[in-house]
Amino acid sequence: MSDLSLIRHVVLDMDGTLYKGTRLFAQTVPFLERLRDLGIGRTFLTNNTSRSKTEYVSKLRQMGIDAQVEEIYTPAESVFAYLRTHLPKVSRIAILGTPSLTQEFAEAGFIDDWNAPEAVVVGFDTTLTYERLCRASYWTSCGLPFLATHPDLVCPTDLQTVLVDCGAICASITAATGKKPIVFGKPNPSILLELRDRLQLKLEEMLMVGDRIYTDMKMAQEAGVPTALVLTGEAGIEQVNDLVLKPDFILDDVGQLGEKLVKAQINLHE
């Protein structure tokens, strides 16, 4: 069992953990206030690359969460890091994503070029057109590096629809070309390792909080970061009981986690 008294920074999944769709959980704001009072830092982590970091800040603030741009982390940043490290000569990319994602790539120094790209990047493209899907498939079939911001097949929603996500779009390209993408985002542990280095923390000083076993928990366990699963989203207690490797903490909601963090600090100073 991990020691909560060591925690200096909490990495928070959002949808299913802090809110569901457009509904903010009642425990969320008090929990975030407790983190602040305890001097524990926070990062809001999402696999959803349809919005920019600035747009996420606006969404969170509209829900009553006072977030800052530097507190938001999306898999787009992992893609940037990979390109700079492993494909440093690549600057022109066919980006199958929203205008927001394309703009983030532009701000990171990459050009959206569908005429002579050097790589293909697929995100959660809510503006997807058949023509662009076919063009992305063509460039992928030519052997260009094929990168996916995250593996999610669908995006969670409280609406009566299925939101086809990045993983499903990539599956279409793979079916058409036989090529599989390099996949970033949860559960790829590189996200947490990048955050560790950026924040200059030890792995045991971080805590991953989320509602999905196969993304949030798997990523943290592979990275060696303590885990806290909340039962406000996708995972239920039945699924947890079937696990061989269980999360370090299994909680009803983030409010319960806040109480445990407070108790850990009290015990530390007694």
Which residue would you say has higher pLDDT here, 15 or 256? 256
Tell whether the model's pLDDT for residue 11 goes beyond 90.
yes
Q: Count of H helices and E strands in the chain?
A: 10, 15
Euclidean distance between CA atoms 83 and 57, whole angstroms: 26
Would you state the pLDDT for residue 75? Answer: 93
Is residue 268 over pLDDT 90?
no
- CA geometry: angle 31, 64, 107, nearest 5 deg: 105
- Predicted pLDDT at 1: 59
| 2 has pLDDT over 80 | no
Judged against a pLDDT cut of 90, whether residue 254 lies above it is answered with yes
Q: Can you give the pLDDT at residue 265?
A: 84
Q: What is the model's pLDDT at position 72?
A: 96
Euclidean distance between CA atoms 256 and 129, whole angstroms:
44
Position 270 scores a pLDDT of 60
CA angle centred on 196, ends 71 and 184, rounded to 5°: 75
Q: Which architecture does CATH list for 75-183?
A: 3-Layer(aba) Sandwich (3.40)
Per-residue pLDDT tens digits for 158-171: 789 999 999 999 99
Q: What is the percent of the chain where pLDDT is above 90?
A: 82
Report CA dihedral (187, 192, 194, 195) to the nearest 10 degrees: 140
- For position 242, what pLDDT does the model report? 82
Query: Does the pLDDT at position 84 exceed 90?
Result: yes
Q: Return residue ranges of the chain for CATH 3.40.50.1000.
A: 75-183
Q: Which of 229, 257, 211 is nearest to 30 (CA)?
A: 257
What is the residue-averaged pLDDT of the chain?
Answer: 93
Within 13 Å of residue 58, how many CA atoms lie on the same side as its CB?
A: 5
Phi/psi for 95 (5° steps) reads -100, 110
CA 23 from chain center: how many Å? 19
pLDDT beyond 80 at 85: yes
